Structure formats: C-alpha cells, structure tokens
Amino acid sequence: MSVPIINLAPNLPVSRLCLGTMTFGEQNSLSQSFRLLDEAFDAGINFFDSAEMYPVPQRSETQGRSEEYFGRWIRSRKIPRDRVVFSTKVAGPSGQMTWIRGGPKCLDSRNITEAINNSLHRAQIDYIDLYQIHWPDRYVPMFGETEYDPKRQYDSISLEEQLDALGKAVDAGKVRYIGLSNETPYGVMKFLQVAEKVACYPKIVSVQNSYSLLCRTFDSGLAECCHNERISLLAYSPLAMGILSGKYFKQDGGPDAARLNLFRGKYSEGESRYNLSNSTIKAATMEYLGIAERHGLHPVSLAIAFVLRHPLVASAIFGATQSWQLQDTLRACKVELTCEVMAEINRVHSRFTNPCP
C-alpha cells in the first residue's frame, strides 16, 4: 500500500497522510513508536509532525520526547535525511507550561531561536523541513472557542520580529519552510502582508488547522485566503480525536486506553473541544456513522476520505497508538466518496454545523 505524494512547496514532496507523534513518549514507548514509524514509512508515509511541547497531555517530565523519539528512529534505521519530511512547532504564549522557556511568555526572537535550536538538539538533526508557530502570539479564540472578545487582546510580539527570527533560521539552514497553526484569516493575511514588504522574510507555505466532519470552520474565510495565496491546509484531528471512529459511543464507552478515557480530567484542551457529553457532538457522529454503514464504508475511511478530498488539503495529520489504527487510516487513502455520500454528509452538516470548532 503506497500513500500518494503531493508537493507542499518546491522540493518538498509530502505524503497525503502525515503521522503525528503527539503520543510518542506518553501513550507509546520508544519501541512502540519505532514500530509505528516503521509501518508508516514502509507504507509510503514520508511526512511526520511533532512539536516542542509534545507528547500530550503536556508534562515537564515528558516534554520533548516526541521529537527525541523521531530523531532516534531516523538514526536507528539509518534513514537518509532527505527521505523524510519532519515538521515541528514552537509553542506560543502559555502561562501553564512553565517548563518551556519559563512560560513561554512570548514569541520574540530569543524564544523562537531557542526553540528551534532545542528541537534540532532533541531530534539530533541538522535541519527542520517545516517549522510552524503552534498558536499565535496574540489573543485568538481557539481550541473550542468561537467568539472573539476584543477585551482579551494583549500586547504581542510584532510579526516583523517573528518573521525576522524565522528568516534567520532559514538563512542559517536550520529550517527549510515555515507555516502557521491554529491561525485565522486575519493572521494568515497579515503574515503574508509583512513578508511581502521585506525580501528576506520567508513566505508562509502552510497552515495547520483542525478539519474534519465535525469541524469545517476552515471553509468559512480561511479557505479563500489559502486558495488565493497558494497556501496548503495541513488538516489535524481528521477523526476529531477518535470520536469519528465511533468508539466512544459504543455501549462500553470505548477502550480504557482511548485518549479521552485514559486522560479524563487531565487534558483540558482536548476535552473542552471534544466533549463526549455534548449531545450535538454525539448526534452528529451517530449520523456520520450511519452514512458509513449504509454505504459499506469503515467510519475511519469516511472521515479521512472526506478530509483528503478537499482541494486545499495537502495532508491529513493523524495519530495512532496501535498498528491496526494505522492500517485503518492507510486504507482510507484508497476510498473515494461518491456524490451521493457527499450529499448525505452535507445534509448532516447543515443540521449539526461544526460541533467541534
């Protein structure tokens, strides 16, 4: 089984599926992580995503292990560096993760440079293919929030300083391309506007935002920006943290090892957005499961195929803790949704619009 490849940027071919590593070092041991990476790579996945704060739930004791495990895998398997695309992210302002650069309090030049150097050191690699700002250094409703409150805005680091630091990393050969994550149409366009003014500033090539059957907010504004500015979407959480597999709404409530069960009460960002007690989320999910059953599709295939059919999606970023989960996702690459299936999906969406924004 070979996963299709697409060009995310010049000389940056990425697989349509990207294996996220946010479970590596928490739910997955080193040996388990290696097995998943082996299987993904053998199936044609060359794109792997991480972040300096991973794994999750974030803890000082485990921070950085996901990047470390990926780098150890490359060296252990003696994989040529140019055969894999590695993306990672710098954490934005956070008062909770005090173990990351004392906060981190902002995304000034020092913080960005230090974060890049730390990621390179943990992974023991010479360069990062795609480096992303994990979330903005400004107030933005995100991770389940939907309404903008002007009173919550705060003084933030200028985009000029952020792009200057990223540009210096590109010039130094530490980073090849840069992207954004959890961004808004305003943020994307402002980054592009600032980059156009200074020749040495790098241009954004991608935005990594949530996109799934339960979250299609990308299509309301951001899609237009990305289409006209030739920016690709890297769609994370295409299964809405596993909800769209249907496992959480089975009679037994799903496996104890499933993330939303295993970390109940310890993962506020995930639980607020993917709230299993939310009746709208359950109702929408059951409708999508019904569509999959009527058309002889695996629920995972329906969810992943829906994301991959979007013309602006370069790659769907998924997570797996077990080999069979990886295989279910790989099989979805071969599925094409019919017009009939899409019509049914859109009817459900019109009734239950974005319950996991």
User: What positions carry a catalytic annotation?
Assistant: 54
Q: What is the 3-state secondary structure (H, E, C) of 109-155?
A: HHHHHHHHHHHHHHHCCCCEEEEEECCCCCCCCCCCCCCCCHHHCCC
**Entry field: residues in the chain:** 357
User: What are 191's two structure tokens?
Assistant: 């980054």
User: Are 78 and 35 contacting, i.e. CB atoms less than 8 angstroms apart?
Assistant: no
Whether a cis peptide bond, with omega within 30° of 0, leads into 57 is yes
* Bridge pairing between strands 5-9 and 12-15: antiparallel
User: What are 185's two structure tokens?
Assistant: 């149409």
Distance CA 47, CA 153 (A): 35
